[in-house]
Amino acid sequence: MTVRIYRDKEFELLDDVYDPSEDSYLLVDAALAEVRPGDRVLEIGTGSGIVSLFLMDRAASVVATDISPLACANARRNGVEVVRADLYHGLYGPFDLVIFNPPYLPTVAGDRLGSWLDHAFDGGPTGRKVIARFLEGIGTILPPCGRVLTVFSSLTGIDEVKEMYRSHGFTVETVSTEKVPFETLIVLRCVRRP
C-alpha cells in the first residue's frame, strides 16, 4: 500500500490498482467544476476512488463502479461507496452526472499484462472499444439532459470520440486539455439531448 496526496486529499493506493496520473487529476478538476449540489453522481472505472473522493461532499450522492475487485477494495478503503460492476450494468438510475475514465489506449495482444490492470488501460486496437460499449446502453441510467464527463487521449482519436457521442444523442464540448509526453489528454462534457 502507498499513500498519495492530490490537492488536500490523502488517499491509499493498493498494488495492481491504477496509479492516478495526469488523466485522473484532469478529470478530478473537471468534475469539481461540473458537479452541482443536487447531483446524483456515478463514477465508472473508479480505480482508487480519487474522483469520487473529491465529489462526496459536493453532490447529493456519489456511487462508483469498477470491474476489478482490487480497485473496489481500494476505493472502499478510501471511503468511496463502490459496486463491482462492468461499467454500469446492474445499476439503476437515473444519474445526473456520469464520470468515466475509460481504458482508452490503443492496444494489441502483446500490450496486455494479464492482470486486473489491463481493465484500466486496454482500449482495444483503436482505444475506443470500451467507450463504444459504454455508449450502447447509457440511456438506461442517464436521462435526457444528463451529463457525462469523460477523459481520453489524442491517441484514441479526438474527432472519432466526439462523433461517437454525437451519434448517440449527445452535444459535446471540450472542457479541458493537457499536453503530456506523446499525447494530449482531453476531457469532454457530453449532454444527452432531450
Candidates 3.30.2270.10, 3.40.50.1950, 3.10.20.740, 3.40.50.150; CATH matching 2-192: 3.40.50.150
- Reading the chain (194 residues) residue by residue, the pLDDT tens digits are 899 889 988 999 998 998 899 999 999 999 999 999 999 999 999 999 999 999 999 999 999 999 999 999 999 999 999 999 999 999 998 999 999 999 876 777 776 667 666 666 666 778 889 999 999 999 999 999 999 999 999 999 999 999 999 999 999 999 999 999 999 999 999 999 99
> All 3 cell numbers of residue 134?
459504454
> All 3 cell numbers of residue 93?
438510475
Distance between CA atoms of residues 4 and 82, nearest Å: 20
Q: Specify the pLDDT at position 81.
A: 97
Q: Specify the pLDDT at position 120.
A: 67
Q: Specify the pLDDT at position 119.
A: 67
Q: Specify the pLDDT at position 118.
A: 65
Q: Specify the pLDDT at position 96.
A: 98
Distance between CA atoms of residues 7 and 60, nearest Å: 22
Report domain extents, the chain. 2-192
Q: Give the phi and the psi of residue 121 in degrees, each rounded to 5.
A: -130, -20
Listed residue (44, 46, 50, 41) closest to 9, CA to CA:
50
